[in-house]
Chains A and B, each alone.
Chain A
Amino acid sequence: MAVTLIAMSILIFLLVELMPGDAAQRVLGQSATPQAVSSLRESMGLNDPVWVRYGRWAAGMLRGDLGTSLYMRGVPIASIFWRKVGNSLVLALLALLFYVPLSIVLGVLAGVKAGKWIDSIISFLGLATMALPEFVSGIILMTLFAVRIPLFPITSVIPIGESIWSNLNILVLPALSITFVMFGYVSRMQRSSMISVMNSDYVRSAVLKGLPLRRVIFRHALKNALLPTITIIGMNMGWLFGGLIVVETLFGFPGLGSLTMSAVKTQDTPLIEVCALFITAVFVISTAITDLLYGLLNPRIRYPGGQ
């Protein structure tokens, strides 16, 4: 995990630092005198070799110093970054609250009724929503529930001076757009693991010894069928944050995604690096937690030689 993070931080740093164009020139604009540019280069430390700059940057990150923004002259990134991350976290949590129960319930239903018409409908819905880019489902939701029936606002901006908690209605459409995409992955996973568990010997013997089907599903099958689903939800946390970029841009929601987008648009190198590193870290850490959780929930893989 640490190796992946370090390798990724080097990759992100190199990628962004080696981009065409000069950071000092960008700060000062095209009309700046060469003397001004070179003195700023000196004071920003841009004349040092790449590995020295990486070392300085990485040390800053470890201390929690995120650096200063290029585009917003000298504004410390930390002063805006964590607030935006907080907003995104609320949005992501709401989306999780929507799609996890929905996908599990419908996935189990499709798995138990495999081959029946209800399974066909749920499977088609999963396939279709999984294929749609977040902004397409977002536009469809927006046309229906913000333009046709004006239940929710078109843009999800938070008025100045107010917190996200007093504006929860702006979160509904963005969270639903994320739900669309995630529902496909999770419900398909849940369906196929449910089918394989229902075909296993211990479930068959539970059915044959005369237990009611409901009891077999909830007491015997579900426990094991949930394992792969938990893995897929954990693994998709990185995906979720990638999807936030599109959804937040569509709705104008002030979160990590739209911050990343504006950093790329304004070529704000330090900010791009922080955003990309954070999204990577979320993915790496959530994958590690998923692995741990999986071991905890599934004692078979904890012992060498088991499984």
Chain B
Amino acid sequence: MKRIMYIARHNPLIFPALFIMAFWLAAAVVGPSLTHFSYTGMDMDHQMTGPGVGGHLVGTDSLGRDIWARIVYGSRSILTIALLTSLFSSLAGVMLGFTAGYFGGRVDALFLRFMDIMMAVPPLVLSMVVLGVLGNSNILTLTLIVSIAYTPATARVARGALLGCKNIEYVDAARLRGESHLYIMFREILPNTIGPIIVEVTARFAYSIMMVASLGFLGVGLQPPTPDWGMMVIENKTIIKAAPWAVLYPSLAIASLVIAISLFSDFLGKVVLRDQ
């Protein structure tokens, strides 16, 4: 604990980062009950009005919808999808990467070959094509596809972490005791590689937010009228001259959230690194 505070003092940016993360978490949980506008309600007297006019905190879009309400509701879906995606892809990555690294030899060679092929398509292109082909994305398909697209990357990290401590005495001891492979992988090795894996989960969380926002921007994310941060940007891009707030605030929401999570992940990395 003392060491964590020491590192925090040398990386003071962690404090605003934690504050921003807490802010968006609170917005997702209790935010909708704090704003009296709904995310579809159209205020016909206030279309494309600026921040503050008519009680609209950060203005309205071309249909007179309250942008703050849409951002707050949108925080729910993006946080849910990104959190599930980072957990699923890390889980799948750990299972695949551990199996390959643990057994080594032909299993490992096959795994590496397969990962090379999977990594030849940028995750964004892969997700976009699959989601576009499937059509009508929802939370389930988005989570599933993005998780699959990210699994090769997480599997590589997990494999690397496992190789780092595969040949240490306690693993040999467990093997001589006659423990099963599963026991050795998850009860002996996993607790000792948990540091880098947690760092990977948080970094993946930031990437997932970036990805979900980009997919929403490209129109293959959640479908309207569900508010989605990325979609709000492209919807309102045509009115950027008349109502810049309609694109700027959703963009700033995305920017603040991903930067805060990245700083947090970077900080965790430093904590874990000093640990070893």
8 Å CB contact of B210 from A128, A133, A284: A133
**Is A104 located at the chain interface by the 8 A CB criterion?**
no
- Nearest residue (CB) in A for B128 is A264
**B interface, how many residues as a size bin?**
35 or more
- Nearest residue (CB) in A for B203 is A131
**Is A296 located at the chain interface by the 8 A CB criterion?**
no
- B152 cross-chain contacts in A, Cβ below 8 A: none
Asked whether A276 lies within 8 Å of B240 as measured between CB atoms, the reply is no
- Nearest residue (CB) in A for B125 is A242
| Least CB distance, A130 to chain B, in whole angstroms | 7
**Is B5 located at the chain interface by the 8 A CB criterion?**
no
Asked whether B262 lies within 8 Å of A249 as measured between CB atoms, the reply is no
Asked whether B217 lies within 8 Å of A249 as measured between CB atoms, the reply is yes
A19 to B123, CA, bound (A): 19
A264 to B129, CA, bound (A): 6
8 Å CB contact of B255 from A5, A132, A143: A132
Asked whether A8 lies within 8 Å of B217 as measured between CB atoms, the reply is no
Query: Main secondary structure on chain B at its contact with chain A?
Result: helix
Do A272 and B129 contact each other (CB < 8 Å), given the known contacts A139-B247, A261-B218? yes
**Is B158 located at the chain interface by the 8 A CB criterion?**
no
Do A284 and B262 contact each other (CB < 8 Å), given the known contacts A143-B248, A264-B220? no
**Is A280 located at the chain interface by the 8 A CB criterion?**
yes
- B218 cross-chain contacts in A, Cβ below 8 A: 245-246, 249, 261
| Least CB distance, B220 to chain A, in whole angstroms | 7
| Least CB distance, B6 to chain A, in whole angstroms | 15
- A284 cross-chain contacts in B, Cβ below 8 A: 120
Query: Main secondary structure on chain A at its contact with chain B?
Result: helix
- B125 cross-chain contacts in A, Cβ below 8 A: 241-242, 245, 260, 276, 279
Interface-lining segment among B34-42, B64-72, B168-176, B230-238: B230-238
**Is B219 located at the chain interface by the 8 A CB criterion?**
yes
**Is B263 located at the chain interface by the 8 A CB criterion?**
yes
| Least CB distance, A77 to chain B, in whole angstroms | 16
**Is A7 located at the chain interface by the 8 A CB criterion?**
yes
- B217 cross-chain contacts in A, Cβ below 8 A: 133, 135, 246, 249-250
List B residues 261-275 near A (Cβ within 8 Å): 261-263, 266
- Nearest residue (CB) in B for A136 is B251
Asked whether A139 lies within 8 Å of B124 as measured between CB atoms, the reply is no
8 Å CB contact of A8 from B117, B234, B263: B117
Asked whether A245 lies within 8 Å of B128 as measured between CB atoms, the reply is yes
5 other A-B residue contacts (CB within 8 Å) besides A131-B210, A133-B213: A133-B210, A139-B251, A250-B234, A272-B133, A276-B125
Which A positions have Cβ atoms within 8 angstroms of B?
Answer: 3-5, 7-8, 11-12, 15-16, 19-20, 124, 127-128, 130-136, 139-140, 142-143, 147, 154, 238-239, 241-243, 245-246, 249-250, 260-261, 264-265, 267, 272, 276, 279-280, 283-284, 287
- 6 residue pairs A–B, Cβ–Cβ below 8 Å: A132-B258, A133-B254, A140-B255, A147-B240, A250-B217, A264-B133
